[in-house]
Amino acid sequence: MLKSLSKNSLAAVFDRMNLTIALLATALVASFVTTLGVSTLRIYAEDNLLLIARSTSYAVEAAVFFRDSEATREGLAVIMQSEQVAIATITDIDGKLLAQWEKPANHRLDNFKRYLSTFLQGSVEQPIESQGRVIGYLSLRADGEKLFSFILRGLLGTLGCLLIVVAGTLYLSRRVQRRVSLPLDALGLVARSALRDRDFSVRLPPSSIQELDELGQNFNGLLDEMQTWHASIQNENLQLSQKASHDGLTGLLNRSAFEACLQQACIDAAQQNYRFAVFFIDSDGFKHINDHHGHAAGDQVLQIIARRIRAQVRESDVSSRLGGDEFAVLISPLNETGDSIVVAEKIIAAMQQPVLLEEGEVLHTSLSIGIAIFPEHGCTAAELLMHADTAMYEVKKNGKEGWQLAGSHQSDLQTGSNT
C-alpha cells in the first residue's frame, strides 16, 4: 500500500531550496575566509611573538648571565606588561627556572583566550645568548586577545552577512515564486472551473516564462477540444432527450411525456388549489385521407393540425400527439370552465381553413374535442384522459367537429358544433 506523500506549497519549496543553497554558500565562504584570516593572523602573531622574544632576550641578557633571578623577574615584568603575552618563562642553560611572569586572568574569558591561543598559536622559545654562547632560554605564550577579537568579529560579521543573505534570499525567492505561482494558480482556477462547473470557456493568459507560457497554450488547446466535445455531447443529449419525449413527426410531446406532465400537474394543482383542463382531440376522417391520398399526405395533415393547435394555446400550455390522429392539450391554469370552451372553439375554427399540401392538393378536415376539468372530472392523469376521451367520442357520435365537456349529456351549453 502506497504511503501518502506530504504536500508542501510552492512558496515553501522555493524558500527551503533557496535558503539551503544560500546558507550552504554562505557557510562555505565564511569558513574559507575565517580559515584564511586565522592562518594569516597566526603567522602574524608568531612573528610578533618572536620579535618580542628577541627584544626581551637582549633586555634580560645581563641578569641571566649573572643568574640574578630578582633582576630577571623585574626586567621580564616591565617588558611583558605592555605586550600581548600570557605567560613568559626564563630558564638557565641547565633548565633551572630563573623567572616567570603570568598575565592576571580577570575573568573566565581570559582563560578561554589562553586555551584558544594555545590551540591555534602554540608558543615560541628564544635562546638567550651572551658573547655568542647560549646562557638560557626565553619561552613566550600569547594571550590570544587579538585572535579572539578577530574570531569574534568574524563570527559577528558572518552572522550579519547570514541575516542579510537570508532576507535577500527570501525576498528574491518570493519574487520568483510569484512569477511562477501566478500562472500556476490561474491554471488551477481554470481547471477547477472546467471540472466543477463544466465551464470550458475560460482561457489562460500568456505568461512571461516560456515554459509556463507553452504549458498554458497547450492547456488552452486542450480546453478548446473539451469545449467542442462537451458542446457535441450536450447537443447529442438534447437530441436524445427530444427524441425520447417528443413526437418525431409533429415535434409535440409524445404520450408518455404528456402523461408524466399531466400527472405532475395533478400534484401541483392539488397542493396549490387551482384548476386546469385536458383536451382529447381526434381528427375527423383521417383514415379517409390516408386511404385516398397516401400516408405522405396524412403526415402533412398531422403536422398542420399540430401547428394550428399550438397556435391557439398559450406558451405555458402543453400540446401532445398521443398517437395516430389523436392529440391532447393541457390548459393550465384555468380560471373558468368557459375559458377552456373558448380555446376549444378557436382550435375547431382554425381547422375550418383548407389544408394545402406540398403537392398543391387542397384537403378539408375537422376536429372532435373532449374536455375534462381538474378536479371535477378526475384527480389523476388516467381519470382525466379517460373522461376527456369519452367526451370526445360523444362528439363523434353526434356528428363530429365539435366539443363536449366530460360527464355530461349533449346540450347547447355543454356541446358546441361548428357544422
Please identify, in words, the CATH class of the domain defined by 255-417: alpha beta
Per residue, the 3-state secondary structure of the chain, as one string, reads CCCCCCCCCHHHHHHHHHHHHHHHHHHHHHHHHHHHHHHHHHHHHHHHHHHHHHHHHHHCHHHHHCCCHHHHHHHHHHHHCCCCEEEEEEEECCCCEEEEEECCCCCHHHHHHHHHHHHHCCEEEEEEEECCEEEEEEEEEECCHHHHHHHHHHHHHHHHHHHHHHHHHHHHHHHHHHHHHHHHHHHHHHHHHHHHCCCCCCCCCCCCCHHHHHHHHHHHHHHHHHHHHHHHHHHHHHHHHHHHHECCCCCCECHHHHHHHHHHHHHHHHHHCCEEEEEEEEEECHHHHHHHHCHHHHHHHHHHHHHHHHHHCCCCCEEEEEECCEEEEEEEEECCHHHHHHHHHHHHHHCCCCEECCCCCEECCEEEEEEEEECCCCCCHHHHHHHHHHHHHHHHHCCCCEEEECCCCCCCCCEEECC
pLDDT reported for residue 106: 64
Please identify, in words, the CATH class of the domain defined by 10-163: alpha beta
Dist CA 63 CA 75 (whole Å): 8
pLDDT reported for residue 115: 61
pLDDT reported for residue 411: 37
pLDDT reported for residue 213: 81
Place of cell 371535477: 376
Residue pLDDT tens, the chain, 419 long: 445 556 666 667 766 777 788 778 777 877 777 777 777 767 777 778 788 888 888 888 888 888 888 888 888 888 888 777 778 888 988 888 888 888 776 666 665 665 665 555 567 888 988 888 998 998 888 776 666 676 777 778 778 877 887 788 777 767 776 777 777 777 778 888 877 877 877 888 887 778 878 888 888 888 888 888 878 888 888 777 777 889 989 999 999 999 999 999 999 999 999 999 999 999 998 999 998 889 999 999 999 999 999 999 999 999 999 999 999 999 999 999 999 999 999 999 999 999 998 888 899 999 999 999 999 999 999 999 999 999 999 999 988 899 999 986 443 334 455 43
Dist CA 100 CA 78 (whole Å): 12
**For the chain, domain boundaries:** 10-163, 198-231, 255-417
Angle at 132 between CA 131 and CA 133, to 5 degrees: 95
pTM for the full predicted model: 0.51
Catalytic residue among 325, 339, 389, 412: 325
Contact 22, 167 (CB under 8 A): no
Residue 305 grid cell: 393540425
Contact 254, 328 (CB under 8 A): no
Q: Is 325 one of the catalytic residues?
A: yes
